[in-house]
Amino acid sequence: MRADPAGVLTGVHYLDGDFACGEGAMAAGCRFVAGYPITPSTEVVERIARRFPRMGGTFVQMEDELASMAAVVGASWTGTKSMTVTSGPGFSLMMENIGLAVMMETPCVVVNVQRGGPSTGLPTMVGQADMMQARWGSHGDYELIALCPQSPQEAFDLTIDAFNLSEQYRVPVLVMMDECVGHMTEKVIVRPAEDIEVVPRRLTAAPRGEFQPYRVDGRPVPEFARAGDGYRFHTTGLTHDERGYPVMNAECQEKCVRRLVDKIRGSAEQIVRFEEEGTEGADIVVVCYGITARVARLAVHLARERGVKAGVLRLVVVWPFPEQRIRELARHIRAFVVPEINYGQIVLEVERCAAGQAAVVPVPHGGGGVHDPSAICQSILRAAQ
């Protein structure tokens, strides 16, 4: 459906990534946000707190990130699109309830404006070291979706996409920003509401007595009933059957968790999104995401000037990972070069998918700044030798 115009600030703006992310959420129809202040993400909720009272939205500053995430899951069960925003330490605190959202199949969006870690780390400076936590941070086996914007414009666009994907797959969707993108100010175009496509919460039409909250009938995701619509359903973080009732045995675990994993794995090729530049006939492909993609492009340009056939594959959706495309490229290229602001996270996925068919060269950076393009360029040149 078209976006609710109340949340769409149509026009050409000069916004930082945090504000743009907040605008994206409101445009997507988000009307509940719970958050706890944490640098460098707080501007997202500050923007929303100022605008929500004029559009029927409620922002609540909770007592911590555990509460923020729990409130988001609760609010989403009323059919209200819900989001929370944080950075590393808060992201750690949210993990258990992100798992609850996965288990209860609750659509919601979690924004992590990444800073340097571990622990308190570098509160005001950039990092990209939560990428594996995004994938594996909550206990147990699960799949979810994570997006990585490289600019304020994308912070706006991908936050809308995050809400849409969360509705489509009934899964928490993570917007893995970084401090650089969050605090960088650029032109952001907000299209008119009628040009913004949003996925509404799809409510069940089942008669009240017959509704089962986790019955799928062959679809990848079950139908949704809101709290308060009279379905009197039950949902739990325990392993459950189609009625949402806990069942403690291996058979139910297999059925319940298998579907949670398969609904994303089975649609991975529709969910994955990446951009390629100059990968056709390339010897070296730089795999990158977020702010590092913008640095990497310059590095590739420098390498091309030195005669190396180098290209860029930028991950827009990081989880699920574009396994198939990396495998294809591995058969034709000499090496992947993977710069990221951590000591080697997404490079492990690239290595796994390349499976020895192409070399994989990490270009780590501990955080607190972005790569020097010449460092990435040097890695490209060495890999090409």
Partner 1 sequence: MNTGNAELGTTGAGPGPADAAPEEHPIAPYVRMDRMPHIWCPTCGIGTVVKCFATALGETGVDLDKVAVVSGIGCTGRVAGYMKLDGFHTTHGRAIPFATGLKLGRPELHVTVFSGDGDLVGIGGNHFIHAARRNMDLLVILVNNFIYGMTGGQNAPTTPLTAKTSTMPFGNFERPFNLAHLAASCGASYVARWTCLHVRQLTWGLKDAIQRRGFRFVEVIAPCSTLYARLNKLGTGFNLMQFYHDNAEVRHGADTREVDIGFQDKIVCGKFVDDPRPTFLEMMDEHYRKILGDKYVPMPPAGGFIPDPDSCGNPDPNRHRDGAAASPRGPTP
Q: Kindly state the smallest distance separating residue 209's Cβ from partner 1, in Å.
A: 11
Build a one-symbol-per-residue string for 150-179: x at contacts with partner 1 by CB under 8 A, - elsewhere. Answer: ------------------------------
Question: Does 80 help bind partner 1 (rule: CB under 8 A)?
Answer: yes
Count of other CB atoms within 10 angstroms of residue 204: 19
- List the one residue from 21, 44, 45, 100 that touches partner 1 (CB under 8 A): 100
Check residue 86 for interaction with partner 1 (CB under 8 A): no
Q: Least distance (Å) from partner 1 to the CB of residue 103?
A: 10
Compute CA 75 distance to the chain's CA centroid, rounded to the nearest angstrom.
20
Q: Are 67 and 114 in contact (CB under 8 A)?
A: no
Q: Which of 139, 205, 280, 356 binds partner 1 (CB under 8 A)?
A: 205
CA–CA separation, 278 and 133 (whole Å): 31
CA 64 – CA 42 distance, rounded (Å): 13
Binding to partner 1 by residue 210, rule CB under 8 A?
A: yes
Residue 120 engages partner 1 in binding (rule: CB under 8 A): no
Q: How far is the CB of 72 from partner 1 (least distance, A)?
A: 6
Least separation in angstroms between residue 2's CB and partner 1 is 7
Query: Within 10 A of 233 (CB to CB), how many other CB atoms are there?
Result: 19
Should residue 71 be labelled a site residue for partner 1 when binding is judged by CB under 8 A?
yes
- CA dist 86 and 103 (Å) reads 21
Confirm or reject binding of residue 145 to partner 1 (CB under 8 A).
Answer: no
Among 139, 217, 280, 385, binds partner 1 (CB under 8 A): 217
Q: Does 359 bind partner 1 (CB under 8 A)?
A: no
Half-sphere exposure for 69 (CA within 13 Å, toward CB): 24
Q: Which residue has the tokens 């707080």?
A: 42
Give the nearer residue to partner 1 in terms of CB position, either 6 or 359. 6
Q: Is 81 a residue that touches partner 1 (CB under 8 A)?
A: yes
Sheet holding 335-340, edge to edge: 274-277, 310-315, 284-288, 335-340, 359-364
Instruction: Check binding of 139 to partner 1 (CB under 8 A).
Output: no
Q: Which positions from 245 through 304 interact with partner 1, judged by CB under 8 A?
A: 245-246
Burial class from Cβ neighbours inside 10 Å (0-12, 13-18, 19+) for residue 11 reads: exposed
Which of 112, 133, 159, 204 binds partner 1 (CB under 8 A)? It is: 204
State both tokens at 203. 């409510």
Q: Which of residues 11-40 bind partner 1 (CB under 8 A)?
A: 29, 31-32, 34
Looking at 16-24, 78-86, 117-125, 154-162, which segment touches partner 1 (CB under 8 A)? 78-86
Asked if residue 252 lies in contact with residue 276, where contact means CB atoms within 8 angstroms, the answer is no
Applying CB under 8 A, which of residues 58, 92, 253, 357 lies at the interface with partner 1?
58
Considering only 46, 92, 123, 226, the residue that binds partner 1 (CB under 8 A) is: 226
CB of 327 to partner 1, least distance (A): 32
- Shortest Cβ distance from residue 167 to partner 1 (Å)? 10
CB closer to partner 1 out of 61 and 120: 61
Q: Are 112 and 179 in contact (CB under 8 A)?
A: no
Contacts 24+ apart (CB under 8 A), 357-364: 357/327, 357/330, 357/331, 358/329, 358/330, 358/331, 358/333, 358/334, 359/334, 359/335, 359/383, 360/335, 360/336, 361/335, 361/336, 361/337, 362/338, 363/337, 363/338, 363/339, 364/339, 364/340
Interface positions with partner 1 (CB under 8 A):
1-2, 4, 6, 29, 31-32, 34, 53-58, 60, 62-64, 66-68, 70-82, 96-97, 100, 200-207, 210, 217, 219, 223, 226-238, 245-246
